[in-house]
A and B are shown apart, each in its own frame.
Chain A
């Protein structure tokens, strides 16, 4: 059994962030309220990889989605904007292994190559959990069926496993890196929202004919904001308000091989988890199931506080404790934390919705919120105090109601024996690495205790003063471009020879209604003819024929004039022409009562 296979067999740890969840629902296309009403919540199986993109991220403890929903309500954006959406995705006939079975691929294919059709259901708010399941939206659009090249893994379940692959490079979920990732997604969302408004204006003259296009665009723009929202939410989780060691690029970790780098990244992540608050991991230990792990930073502790750039100091909580945040102005020790987050999150969400032209109806934000720059220091300048970081250097739990604290002091960490998974089980790391691990930790916990005593209200420990750990620097010192970055806009399928181009194609094809203008611009006469030829391919099986016909119809519809080159129905001009995005036109003669879709179907599959 190789190492990769072993890792795939052992249980994954939960995410060290506001919680993200995936459940198997009988009807994944159901509305969010209907999914929440289901009593029997079975976790997705497997818990990582392609399986998670086939199901819904709605159910108990979906903290990230709940924080999005909280923001949505405070922003006063109509509920319909966050309703369940459905994508019709054209694919090949390939399959992908999921656990012990196989499932149809979700990797989007070109219209002219489609042999299967899949539907995908999601709501924008669910995608605020995406960074715990997928590397980016292009990854989700590809069904989590591929692995970023630099991860040293090709099994899509393994490379999406949180404990072994995604967690070790999630330094971008911590400040200050989280700011960069929110910024990237917010700017993408704003750019798409502006395009939604533009498209909406162009199709407005056509009545309801193309009304689905700006709405699909809005769903995509809000989904991008939701992915970014994850990082904004994490920035307000107490456990993330410090410079965790490491980078979001595995290549940035020291080590001669990818496995060496991952070993270090995993150990760094484990220790970061101890500082963050390890309830999510420790509560699962068989011997600890009777304990109530209330580990700082995330759990409520009187001394755990953060300070903002404007000098506000307040108590904070984090992952697993979102329910501690008050609603409706109720009094709470965490009212300031919740209020500051609300202002940032609502400001960001409203920016996007308003940039889209508020196509679902005017937003009516709640009173009492501050309008802030969601990309600025008001939303990303908060850091844990030194005293909080010293409290974080401990494991806290209750046994039979009695609070127990095990300080992670210099003697305790010097006794540590880190082990990593190998084909024969977990084995101690090489003595040299073990001693580097222990020596670094002796320094880190000692500095934390001294600096916290010296300056309990200072922010030095959360801003790099802890120094390096196992060769990994505090995350604020890494500026490399993330290897999993979303491609630059526009997204179309014209650059398939490059990795960014392939990612853009996956996005444009998955969200093909939203990206109609982009795809119009790259559709040639040859591609239209290829789609028609493919739809008439007698060698296709029944499903292949149906899919090819549907895909050709969808493509042709966007370029089809009803009539002939000499005379056509100007009241039913095709979408690409209305959008001014393409000169490519086809003709199909039809009666005046024939719908453009039926005419397109006839053009493809007479």
Chain B
């Protein structure tokens, strides 16, 4: 009896993918980049232009980036699908996801699901819905049109 119970519990655990711990992105570390001022670091500098990095930036696009990394670091073909990674990502609780820990909006998850169900490949659907159109992500359209 005990033996059968153990097997049943084991089977039940294996079938519940949403309980699996998904891989998470590593911390962004800019400590080796030269300091410009305050939190800003220098990445590249040539005569006509330069790129600095400010890890204290917090807006709709940093939130989009955080959501994207939750999915792209998690994705592992044959182990974790894009669907699994996106649906398993924490769901944003507010319309200002940049004030939260890394998360993906429920609307993005829903629209991604619809696209996949219509036959679009998972990578293509994630790119189209979340990374390109991004209208499911609060604040991105405004950041592009009226920053």
CB distance from A480 to the nearest CB of B (A): 23
23 CB < 8 A contacts A-B: A13-B46, A13-B47, A163-B46, A287-B42, A411-B28, A416-B43, A418-B50, A418-B51, A420-B48, A420-B49, A421-B47, A431-B147, A432-B147, A438-B61, A442-B61, A443-B127, A446-B69, A446-B72, A446-B127, A450-B123, A450-B126, A450-B127, A467-B132
Whether A419 lies near B134 (C-beta < 8 A) is no
Asked if B40 is at the interface of the complex by the 8 Å CB criterion, the answer is yes
CB distance from A299 to the nearest CB of B (A): 16
A151 vs B75: C-alpha distance when bound (angstroms): 44
Whether A449 lies near B72 (C-beta < 8 A) is yes
Interface-located stretch among B6-14, B52-60, B109-117 = B52-60
By beta carbon, the residue of chain B nearest A161 is B47
Whether B44 lies near A282 (C-beta < 8 A) is yes
Asked if B144 is at the interface of the complex by the 8 Å CB criterion, the answer is yes
A406 vs B51: C-alpha distance when bound (angstroms): 15
Q: With A415-B28, A416-B43, A443-B131 given, can you name 17 additional A-B contacts, CB distance below 8 Å?
A: A270-B49, A271-B51, A282-B44, A288-B34, A395-B43, A406-B29, A409-B72, A411-B28, A414-B62, A417-B52, A418-B51, A421-B47, A446-B131, A449-B73, A450-B127, A453-B76, A454-B77
Interface-located stretch among A4-12, A543-551, A572-580 = A4-12
**B118-147 near A? 1/0 per residue, CB < 8 Å:** 000001001100011010000010011101
Whether A439 lies near B123 (C-beta < 8 A) is no
Whether A278 lies near B48 (C-beta < 8 A) is no
Whether B48 lies near A164 (C-beta < 8 A) is yes
**A260-281 near B? 1/0 per residue, CB < 8 Å:** 0011001100110110001001
For chain A, what secondary structure do more than half of its interface residues adopt (helix, strand, loop), or is it mixed? helix
Q: How many of B's residues come within 8 Å of A, CB to CB?
A: 49
Whether B49 lies near A443 (C-beta < 8 A) is no
By beta carbon, the residue of chain A nearest B40 is A417
Asked if A413 is at the interface of the complex by the 8 Å CB criterion, the answer is yes
Find chain B residues with CB under 8 A from A419 CB: 49-52
Asked if B82 is at the interface of the complex by the 8 Å CB criterion, the answer is yes
Asked if A542 is at the interface of the complex by the 8 Å CB criterion, the answer is no
A164 vs B143: C-alpha distance when bound (angstroms): 28
Question: Which residues of A from 431 to 452 have beta carbons under 8 Å from B?
Answer: 431-432, 434-436, 438-439, 442-443, 446-447, 449-451
Given the interface pairs A417-B54, A421-B49, the reply to whether A274 lies near B44 with Cβ below 8 Å is yes
CB distance from B139 to the nearest CB of A (A): 10
Whether A454 lies near B123 (C-beta < 8 A) is yes
Whether A270 lies near B44 (C-beta < 8 A) is yes
Scoring A419, A434, A467 by chain B CB atoms within 10 A of each residue's CB, the highest score goes to A419
Whether A435 lies near B144 (C-beta < 8 A) is yes
Find chain B residues with CB under 8 A from A251 CB: none
**A397-418 near B? 1/0 per residue, CB < 8 Å:** 0010000101101111111111
CB distance from A427 to the nearest CB of B (A): 10
A467 vs B52: C-alpha distance when bound (angstroms): 24
Find chain B residues with CB under 8 A from A415 CB: 28, 30, 53-55, 57, 62
Whether B32 lies near A285 (C-beta < 8 A) is no
By beta carbon, the residue of chain B nearest A286 is B34
By beta carbon, the residue of chain A nearest B127 is A447
A278 vs B33: C-alpha distance when bound (angstroms): 14
Asked if A426 is at the interface of the complex by the 8 Å CB criterion, the answer is yes
A13 vs B144: C-alpha distance when bound (angstroms): 31
A263 vs B42: C-alpha distance when bound (angstroms): 19
Find chain B residues with CB under 8 A from A409 CB: 25, 28, 65, 69, 72-73
CB distance from A559 to the nearest CB of B (A): 50
Whether B48 lies near A163 (C-beta < 8 A) is yes
Find chain B residues with CB under 8 A from A435 CB: 61, 143-144, 147
Find chain A residues with CB under 8 A from B76 CB: 453
A271 vs B66: C-alpha distance when bound (angstroms): 20
A45 vs B57: C-alpha distance when bound (angstroms): 41
**A49-64 near B? 1/0 per residue, CB < 8 Å:** 0000000000000000
Asked if B64 is at the interface of the complex by the 8 Å CB criterion, the answer is yes
Find chain B residues with CB under 8 A from A11 CB: 47
Asked if B68 is at the interface of the complex by the 8 Å CB criterion, the answer is yes
Scoring B46, B72, B75 by chain A CB atoms within 10 A of each residue's CB, the highest score goes to B46
Scoring A262, A395, A417, A419 by chain B CB atoms within 10 A of each residue's CB, the highest score goes to A417
CB distance from B146 to the nearest CB of A (A): 8
Whether B66 lies near A411 (C-beta < 8 A) is yes
**A1-44 near B? 1/0 per residue, CB < 8 Å:** 00000010011110000000000000000000000000000000
By beta carbon, the residue of chain B nearest A421 is B48
Find chain B residues with CB under 8 A from A439 CB: 61, 64, 134, 140, 143-144
